[in-house]
A and B are shown apart, each in its own frame.
Chain A
Amino acid sequence: MNHPLILMAHVLFGVLCLVGSLWVFVDTLNARAGTVARIRAVSVSVAMAMWIAYLIAGYWYIDFYAADKALILKGPWPWAHDFVMEAKEHLVIMLLLLATYLPIATQGRLASSRSARSLVLWTSGLVFGLALTADSFGALIGMGVKVALAVK
């Protein structure tokens, strides 16, 4: 598979996870009996998007990242690997588990229980925050490669 296409697919599914978690958060704020099925369906979509993004990322990271890593470390932004990539690759393990847990968290009585809503709000909020962090970190890693190529 083409290298840029792998990265684009990774970003696409990561953004779907991000947007889906925001949907779940907002929908849960006003959960009613008629919207619970939709909240649960979107939460499953969030988990699926995250799993696809994660598997694509794992394939790319293990098979292709070594060349980019070498470039970044020789360039002006070595921290784009030393801190950003290293932190990202481990934070996303927690993000994967949170996204996997989101459909389980939505199994409570969302239409009638404040505590069930609170759990989903916190879980979807954490997914959103970590996904946004991962997305931002990905952009910094990409910039780390670009600035390294620019000074080459």
Chain B
Amino acid sequence: MRVRRIAVAPQVLEFASDDPFAARALDALYHAAPATAQAPTLRYGLRRSGPGEPGGYVATSPARAPFGPAALGDAWAFLEWRATEDLLGGADRENVFLHAGGAELGTRLALIVGDSGAGKSTLVAHLMQRGHRMLGDDVVRFATAEGRFSAVGRSLKLDPKSLPGLPLIAGKCAAGVVGTLLAAGCYYVSPAAIRRSWQAPAARPWAVVLLDAGRRGGPGGVERASAGEAAVYVTQKVLGDAADGAAGRKDVTVSILESLADVAAYRAIGSDPAAVAEALEREAAA
């Protein structure tokens, strides 16, 4: 049985598997997060089905019935879903996790928000390929007392269709660099596999970048958006139910609003994430 515990403060996630391939998949999910010997707060397992069970894999997670036996891809998808949702709901008095991405451009932190499938991961990957450090792919941490956002070492989940525009990352995936994995139709790419110093320092955001799933094609870039509307999106939609376990929704919301006091807001336009990344760089340098 291979067991790996990683710290995503305040949580300690444990991933265990008796299958070498499944264990590698579990390693890839939070590859960049630091290992820890602390007692786990959230435990996940991915094992081969046992004698008397139908063939396949069984996924286990906190407070849920085991999933499976099922195909490895389905069991993995269940486990990934639970590991994300549990973390998003895993707030304590000091920290909440938000469903967002982000990167540091120079010394300016951009918080990237949008619905699932809007292209957060792809934009973060483009920014990383251009030499910027990552705040997060799907999950970022917000410290309620300090009012600062900080990085979570979750791997980038990339559609293979996005890789041709990401030659640096595609090369690492093709070479099987540790921390990259093709699983269930997508690549999991550890930020640590892209650059050694991957982690953006904790900060208040310089900008909120809104990604709409239905963006039209054409020349890509960014346009200025309402900072107020962006803040409402972050506190109402991105925060979601995450604040329920924290100090209190009102306090968390007010803390986020205060952290966004001097924020600029941009809306991505066009379907070319490379052009959006380039435009954001220009805005951050201005």
A interacts with B:
no
